[in-house]
Chains A and B, each alone.
Chain A
Amino acid sequence: MAANSTSSATPLLVSRGISKQFSGVEVLSDVDLDLMPGEIHALLGENGAGKSTFAKILAGVYRPTRGTLTMNGAPVEAYSPIHAQRLGITLIHQEPISFPDLSVAENLVLGHERGSLLGRVHWAGMERRANELMDMLGIRIDVTRPMRGLSIADQQMVEIARALVGDSRLIIMDEPTAPLTPKEVETLFGIARKLRDEGRTIIFISHRLEEVQALCDRATVFRDGNLVDTVNVADVSDDDIIRLMIGRSLKEYLHKQRTTIGDVALKVENLTLPGVFSDISFDVHKGEIVGVGGLVGAGRTDVARALFGVEPAATGKIHVNGSEVAIGDPSTAIDLGLAFVPEDRAVAGIFSSLSVEKNISAAVPGKITSGGIIRRALEHAVASDSVKKLRIRLASLQQPIGELSGGNQQKAILARWLLTDPSVLILDEPTRGIDIGVKAEFYDMIGELAAGGRAILLISSELPELLALCDRVLVMSEGRLTANFDRSEATQESIMQAAVPRSADQEVAA
């Protein structure tokens, strides 16, 4: 599928060979893309496919490792959000970054003014201009009120208005619709079309294919850091796009050995946290690996956090090993035999400056002490045993864990939780950012743990991982459970279909 009919016009922005590496890992390779004036261009792809990285390079958040950007024929040299903005490129974050204590009008102009710092602030003029912009966009927000307390939708509108203050020619919207109601989405679309008709270019990042169909002129699909294809949206179907997004060759993973599946270890009924997830019901048996698929922001991590008591659900029931329990904080969850390897290792997992040994023993005070006093020999034995079992590569147990690679940090966190001898193990994106070799080790380990009779809830955005490891795959979308596949029914296509948000009537009851 070639590019489209507008290719005769002069592109607004030309990307040639744009690549980005983070510490030697290439996350974006050789992206060539022409963005036309007056088009709405969708960027699509799975989580981590590279679309957000590309968008952030355009907006000056990241500096590309290689490649050139040309805007209106002139090379783009400066890479910082402020420079990008001065060039007319604005990135609108999903949850806008603003000054909550300042008025809407001030939020609009701040950062756009030039001239002396002692220059006067013309409140009346500023507010008049802000009102004009709001009228132009057809939105009703009192520009004199503080930003704090505006709905996310209104905050986004303010951000869009901000782009217009700087007369941005390229406006990048990063998953703008995720937190919006259908009505707000319609308003947003109306504004986007209006801006397009004025000749501005809009980049629209979304997982919702129906929105892409409804709004966008062209779509570019990313996969594994590569640009796969750019298509005219009118020419293709949802299924075509899904195929482009996942169409990689399936890597061969060892399927885990069949284990005997025992009694229900974890049973969840109608778990709800308003605004985050609702009516989640499922169960996990002993020896079973249950996968949870879905897109980022679907509420998977929030369910895991609720189960572990980090941020408890408002309503609903949790049963562990047959008895109903109330989990108000993580220590209760641990006592009940739950363990949780969180998604964001640096924030919620490791104690970066402390030794590997102390990191491993953090959740099992009872195993390294007698009478409340830490027995060094005991702690050392416990930790080195874990290191051997999980094949953690390190120079010394006394080494700060921050010095280890991501994979080995993750193994140490897993080791911490295995020491608690959990009956239910919740893993949130356990293999993210880990090299292939270590990943395979992880898969073996997860399989072994299930074989040992533990119940495992595995949250993953990597479809092959879910398919290879899990006995069942749950899929969440927009805070709801949309599918519950047996391993025989689960395919990349079926999971993706269930993960992509649709209008309410199409939802599959779990």
Chain B
Amino acid sequence: MNTISKIFLRREAGIFVMIVLFCLAVGAFKPQFLTLQSLRIVLLLVPLILIGAMGQMLVLVARHVDLSIGSTLGFSAMVVGMMFKYYPEIWWPLGFLVAIGVGAGLGLFNGFLITLFRLPAIIVTLGTLNLYRGLTYIISNAKQIDRQYVPSELKAMSQTSPIFGIPWIIFMIIAIALLTYWFAMHTRVGRQIFALGSNPVAAQLRGINVSKITLLVFALSGALAGLAGIMYASRWGFVNPSNTGSGFEFQVIAAVVIGGVSINGGVGTVLGTVLGVLLLGCVSSALPLLGIPGTTQNAIYGAVIIIALLIDRGVRQRAIKTISAKA
């Protein structure tokens, strides 16, 4: 077994244990939490976050952050929704291409501003977060795309199941996670993202094209947000210019940092991120069951991000200590 995998597994095992303990604790009070039905609720809660988290993970690994994904999701969903509304004759799966393409375009624009003008990603994406949201209002004339316009086949993806009662959307996110894993761990460009985040100076010295990689991670993050956009339409059956995707970035960032992705770049795994998303999903679905109002959710997300940052720092400090102890 690879030593690096071992180290990560320890972190991931930690999150896994937390998920189990949490579910058992909730189950002790509310036995209905430990049923297939509630598993289904959790699984239906997380797909969008998971899709976004895969992209955000790559962005954080490359030492950046993308705050605009919520608006990217909203804009892509709106473009697709309007396509369905005004051109209902178009073959509906084309919507996937459109959503992903639009998202990738918005992501590229972020990456372009960041690399060309050497601006901090956080400020640029704070700007585009609002820009893309505004554009969503403008193209939609501030009108919602209602249920009747969203193709029923698309909506069915989040409900009907090919096998074992597991909806299509779950298979889809499993495929996306596996693809991301393959991309991050087994392609040269994936490893270059990790190298860049681990040490940007060394990356340049080793001939890695830093601008190209940066553009790529933002394009990927945007494309995945776009995909999450069309899946939003599938899951909820409508697209609203103000609600769709609003606050999405925070849920995603919370999930990713719980999953052990370091804000200092270079560190992060798909498995950890998936577990982070699941933990977040379990917590969110347990709250109403425990009679805790849904209004606490954001406070919990925020607290969780802060705690994850502190844990991350603790892990790093311990690593440094073990090094100096050895030296």
Q: Which residues of A contact B (CB under 8 A)?
A: 81-82, 97-103, 106, 110-111, 113, 115-121, 123, 127, 142, 144-146, 148-149, 151-152, 275
Contacts and interface: CB of A to CB of B under 8 A. Distances in A.
Nearest to B322: A149
B35 interface: no
B93 interface: no
B4 A98 contact: no
A113 B206 contact: no
A102 B195 contact: yes
Contact of A119 (B185, B187, B194, B201): B187
Nearest to A142: B3
B3 A145 contact: yes
Given A118-B187, A120-B187, A149-B323, 5 more contacts: A102-B4, A121-B187, A144-B3, A145-B3, A149-B326
Contacts of B37: none
A106 B326 CA distance: 23
A146 B186 CA distance: 17
Contact of B199 (A81, A97, A275): A97
21 contacts: A82-B206, A97-B202, A97-B205, A102-B4, A102-B191, A102-B198, A110-B208, A113-B188, A115-B188, A118-B187, A119-B188, A121-B185, A121-B186, A121-B188, A121-B190, A127-B2, A144-B2, A144-B3, A144-B4, A144-B5, A152-B327
A99 B202 contact: yes
B319 interface: yes
Contact of B7 (A110, A120, A146, A275): A146
B274 to A, nearest CB: 20
Interface string B165-200: 000000000000000000001111111101101110
Interface in B187-238: 187-192, 194-195, 197-199, 201-203, 205-208
Interface centre among A81, A118, A149, A152 (most CB of B within 10 A): A149
Contacts of B324: 275
Contacts of A98: 199, 202
Interface of B: 1-5, 7, 185-192, 194-195, 197-199, 201-203, 205-208, 266-267, 319, 322-324, 326-327
Contact of A101 (B188, B189, B205, B266): B266
Contacts of B197: 101
Contacts of A149: 319, 322-323, 326
A70 to B, nearest CB: 24
Contacts, number: 92
Contacts of B187: 117-121
Chain B interface mostly helix, strand, loop or mixed?
Answer: helix
A103 B2 contact: yes
Contacts of B190: 121
A121 B195 CA distance: 14
Contacts of A82: 205-207
Interface centre among A106, A110, A123, A127 (most CB of B within 10 A): A110
A149 B319 CA distance: 7
Contact of A102 (B189, B194, B207): B194
A349 B5 CA distance: 44
B194 A101 contact: yes
A99 B198 contact: yes
Contacts of A103: 2-4
Contacts of B267: 101
Contacts of A110: 191-192, 195, 206, 208
Given A99-B194, A102-B191, A149-B326, A111 B206 contact: yes
B195 A148 contact: no
Nearest to B268: A101
A287 B208 CA distance: 55
A100 B206 contact: no
A56 to B, nearest CB: 12
A100 B207 CA distance: 17
Given A103-B4, A146-B3, A148-B319, A120 B186 contact: yes
A142 B266 CA distance: 20
A98 B266 CA distance: 12
Nearest to A150: B323
A403 to B, nearest CB: 23
A148 B327 contact: no
A166 to B, nearest CB: 11
A115 B188 CA distance: 9
Given A119-B187, A149-B319, A111 B199 contact: no
A100 B266 contact: yes
Given A97-B199, A119-B187, A121-B186, A275 B327 contact: yes
A90 to B, nearest CB: 12
Contacts of B205: 81-82, 97, 111
A98 B206 CA distance: 10
Nearest to B5: A144
Contact of A148 (B188, B194, B206, B323): B323
Contacts of A119: 187-188
Contacts of A145: 3-4
Interface centre among B194, B197, B205 (most CB of A within 10 A): B205
A100 B199 contact: yes
Nearest to A113: B188
A142 to B, nearest CB: 6
Contacts of B201: 97
Contacts of B189: 117-118
Interface centre among B189, B197, B199 (most CB of A within 10 A): B199
Contacts of A113: 188
A191 to B, nearest CB: 21
Contacts of B198: 99-102
Contacts of A152: 327
A121 B191 contact: yes
Nearest to A96: B202
Contacts of B266: 99-102
A116 B3 CA distance: 27
A121 B35 CA distance: 41
A121 B181 CA distance: 12
Contacts of B199: 97-100
B194 to A, nearest CB: 6
Nearest to B206: A111
Interface centre among A103, A121, A148 (most CB of B within 10 A): A148
Closest 10 CB pairs of A and B: A111-B206, A101-B266, A145-B3, A117-B189, A101-B198, A99-B198, A82-B207, A144-B2, A144-B3, A97-B202
A229 to B, nearest CB: 33
Nearest to A81: B205
Contacts of A101: 194, 197-198, 266-267
Interface centre among A113, A144, A151 (most CB of B within 10 A): A144
B57 to A, nearest CB: 14
Contacts of B185: 121, 123
A146 B4 contact: yes
B192 A117 contact: yes
